[in-house]
């Protein structure tokens, strides 16, 4: 699919085109590939590692790949990797080529609205124009009125990348779509692109493929030998200037100008990750890409874990996030466990249990119900079975309760089993905790901010004074278990209670020791304040 757009097209409209018209799924990662537009050769081993790692990073994380879309330079190597991937009949990778309309060869074949056009991908070696790479899934062709010149797409592409990064990966995860720049070979303009990425707010981490030639090798050299703050000693400075002159056929003055931009990049070298084939810890470029994102975003440990969950990369979580000395805020691992269960990430569930998450403490009634009511994951028949059991139409937003689950279990067992969820005691527990009077009950239980204690009339049987907690370790205020509704009067049960919660009883009558009717017209209750 392709679209020809003007240079000033709003990024919101472009994203709408991608998501609504072309039915693309929002990515969990955006890999923006930059490099040389002149044809160059990669070492066979490096080309294999680059292609395999790029495809693995895109497939495992559900990423989009942005390139310039033409069949030259680094884009040709990306196309070769995509071709090898598609030949093995695997899932499709969304690869978007953002190319200037003015450099596209045979562009007259593409003119038309809502039409299907055959496109000739054989290029003319004598032409200044170039053909599109056929392995891309989508093309956005930016037209600024020029012909035979690159650059029309640069600003449009960057604006679209920024707008994509503002979109949320998942309704459960508050993270925006992370963007990473991948540099392979490249001319002097790539240094400017890298500098813009690093200066952006928030900055975009960059992965440099060392050994691919020209700008990539110069960036890798400067990254290795520069000190903090973008400082390099005199001898290495002269060596780097000579290398720039020879690589780009520059004058001394031009080389010095590019050197200044290079050192500006090195001031934020912590955002640059250099991939060296065979180096320890970077056997695969996909690990370099994802590690650079975790390192470059400066996110907290829970946010990094959320990203790893979204990418479904338990290896990244194990090696980069669950490290010795990592600080985890209270409740963050429990939230990650809930996300892992909802998103069906079995390996993450195992990893979280290994790192101290107790399922006994984790699985509360509210979390259990959230798991039953999740809209994510594969569709199931639970909603339809509940509808059959309740023998009536349910609203689309109906929330399945644990009592419904109990009825379903009994229905499926053919009446040979009585579920705990349908027993009278559990129903009372559940209704008191999750019924319409729950906020009032929580205040009476001392589970919310202490307010002046209400005066409850025992003459009104419609009022349930206290709500039963889920846990046996929870306690009531003051010393009674619950107040049950009665046709004639309100009654109370007492219990010894466990724990160290202080309780006060202010009343005009003596605390009963057994089930009895309340005789006074009013009584005051005061929780642990």
User: pLDDT value at position 501?
Assistant: 40
CA 182 to chain centre: 20
- Say which residues have a Cβ less than 8 Å from residue 344's Cβ, sequence separation at least 6: 377, 378
The answer to the question of residue 477 being in a domain is yes
Domain range spanning residue 117? Answer: 2-214+271-275
Residue spans of the chain under pLDDT 70:
89-90, 171-173, 278-283, 297, 377-378, 436-529
Residues 76 and 205 both lie in one domain: yes
User: pLDDT value at position 107?
Assistant: 84
In eight-state DSSP terms, residue 107 is G
pLDDT tens sequence across 304-327: 898 899 888 999 999 889 987 778
Percent of the chain's residues with pLDDT above 90? 43
Task: Give burial (CB, 10 Å; 0-12/13-18/19+) of 484.
Answer: middle
Q: Which CATH number belongs to the domain containing residue 192 in this structure?
A: 3.40.50.450
pLDDT tens sequence across 296-305: 767 788 888 9
The answer to the question of residue 443 being in a domain is no
User: pLDDT value at position 448?
Assistant: 44
Residues 38 and 96 both lie in one domain: yes
The answer to the question of residue 178 being in a domain is yes
Residues 493 and 378 both lie in one domain: no
The answer to the question of residue 221 being in a domain is no
Residues 58 and 151 both lie in one domain: yes
CA angle 498, 500, 506 (to 5 degrees): 90
Q: Is 66 within 8 Å of 33 (Cβ atoms)?
A: yes
Task: Give burial (CB, 10 Å; 0-12/13-18/19+) of 433.
Answer: middle
The answer to the question of residue 234 being in a domain is no
The answer to the question of residue 323 being in a domain is no
User: pLDDT value at position 439?
Assistant: 56
CB atoms within 10 A of CB 486: 11
Residues 479 and 379 both lie in one domain: no
User: pLDDT value at position 347?
Assistant: 95
Residues 78 and 148 both lie in one domain: yes
In 3-state terms the chain splits into helix, strand, coil percentages (rounded to 5) of: 40, 15, 45
**Tokens matching residue 116:** 């299907």
Q: Is 99 within 8 Å of 133 (Cβ atoms)?
A: no
Residues 466 and 415 both lie in one domain: no
Residues 403 and 482 both lie in one domain: no
User: pLDDT value at position 455?
Assistant: 36
Residues 495 and 392 both lie in one domain: no
Phi-psi map region of 180: left, alpha, beta (phi>0 left; psi -120 to 50 alpha): beta
Domain boundary among 275, 302, 317: 275
Residues 55 and 122 both lie in one domain: yes
The answer to the question of residue 341 being in a domain is no
Residues 477 and 411 both lie in one domain: no
User: pLDDT value at position 283?
Assistant: 62
**Tokens matching residue 42:** 């990669």
Quote the number of domains for the chain. Answer: 3
Residues 384 and 508 both lie in one domain: no
The answer to the question of residue 359 being in a domain is no
CA angle 300, 304, 307 (to 5 degrees): 145
In eight-state DSSP terms, residue 20 is I
């Amino acid at each position: 699919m392709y679209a020809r757009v003007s240079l000033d097209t709003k990024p919101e409209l472009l994203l709408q085109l991608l998501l609504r018209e072309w039915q693309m799924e929002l990515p969990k990662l955006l890999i923006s590939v930059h490099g040389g537009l002149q044809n160059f050769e990669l070492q066979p081993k490096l080309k294999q590692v680059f292609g395999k790692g790029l495809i693995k990073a895109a497939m495992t994380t559900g990423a989009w790949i942005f390139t310039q879309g033409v069949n030259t330079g680094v884009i040709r190597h990306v196309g070769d990797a995509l071709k090898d991937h598609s030949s093995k009949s695997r899932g499709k990778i969304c690869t978007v080529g953002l190319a200037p309309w003015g450099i596209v060869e045979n562009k007259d074949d593409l003119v038309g609205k809502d039409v299907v056009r055959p496109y000739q991908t054989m290029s003319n070696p004598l032409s200044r124009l170039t053909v599109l790479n056929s392995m891309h899934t989508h093309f956005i062709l930016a037209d600024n009125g020029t012909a035979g010149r690159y650059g029309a797409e640069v600003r449009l592409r960057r604006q679209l990348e920024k707008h994509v990064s503002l979109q949320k990966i998942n309704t459960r995860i508050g993270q925006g779509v992370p963007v990473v720049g991948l540099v392979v070979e490249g001319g002097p303009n790539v240094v400017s692109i890298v500098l813009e990425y690093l200066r952006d707010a928030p900055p975009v981490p960059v992965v440099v493929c060392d050994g691919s030639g020209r700008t990539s090798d110069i960036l890798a050299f400067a990254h290795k030998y520069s000190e903090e703050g973008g400082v390099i000693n005199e001898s290495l400075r002269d060596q780097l200037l000579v290398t720039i002159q020879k690589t780009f056929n520059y004058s001394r003055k031009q080389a010095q100008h590019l050197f200044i931009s290079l050192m500006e990049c090195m001031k934020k070298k912590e955002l640059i990750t250099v991939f060296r084939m065979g180096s320890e810890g970077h056997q695969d470029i996909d690990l370099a890409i994802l590690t650079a994102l975790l390192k470059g975003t400066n996110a907290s440990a829970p946010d990094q874990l959320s990203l790893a969950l979204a990418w479904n990369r338990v290896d990244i979580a194990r090696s980069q996030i669950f490290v010795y000395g990592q600080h985890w805020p209270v409740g963050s691992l429990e939230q990650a466990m809930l996300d892992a269960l909802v998103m069906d990430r079995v390996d993450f569930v195992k990893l979280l249990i290994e790192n101290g998450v107790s399922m006994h403490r984790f699985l509360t009634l509210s979390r259990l119900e959230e798991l039953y009511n999740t809209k994510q994951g594969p569709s199931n028949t639970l909603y339809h079975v509940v509808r059959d059991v309740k023998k009536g139409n349910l609203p689309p937003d109906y929330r399945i309760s644990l009592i419904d689950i109990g009825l379903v279990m009994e229905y499926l067992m053919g009446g040979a089993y009585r579920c705990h969820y349908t027993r009278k005691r559990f129903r009372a527990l559940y209704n008191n905790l999750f019924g319409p009077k729950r906020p009032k009950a929580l205040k009476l239980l001392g589970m919310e901010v202490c307010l002046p204690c209400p005066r409850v009339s025992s003459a009104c049987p419609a009022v349930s004074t206290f709500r039963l907690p889920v846990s046996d370790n929870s306690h009531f205020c003051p010393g009674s278990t619950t107040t049950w509704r009665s046709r004639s009067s309100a009654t109370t049960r007492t219990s010894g209670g466990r724990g160290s919660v202080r309780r006060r009883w202010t009343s005009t009558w003596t605390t009963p020791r057994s089930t009895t009717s309340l005789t006074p017209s009013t009584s005051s209750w005061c929780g642990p304040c």
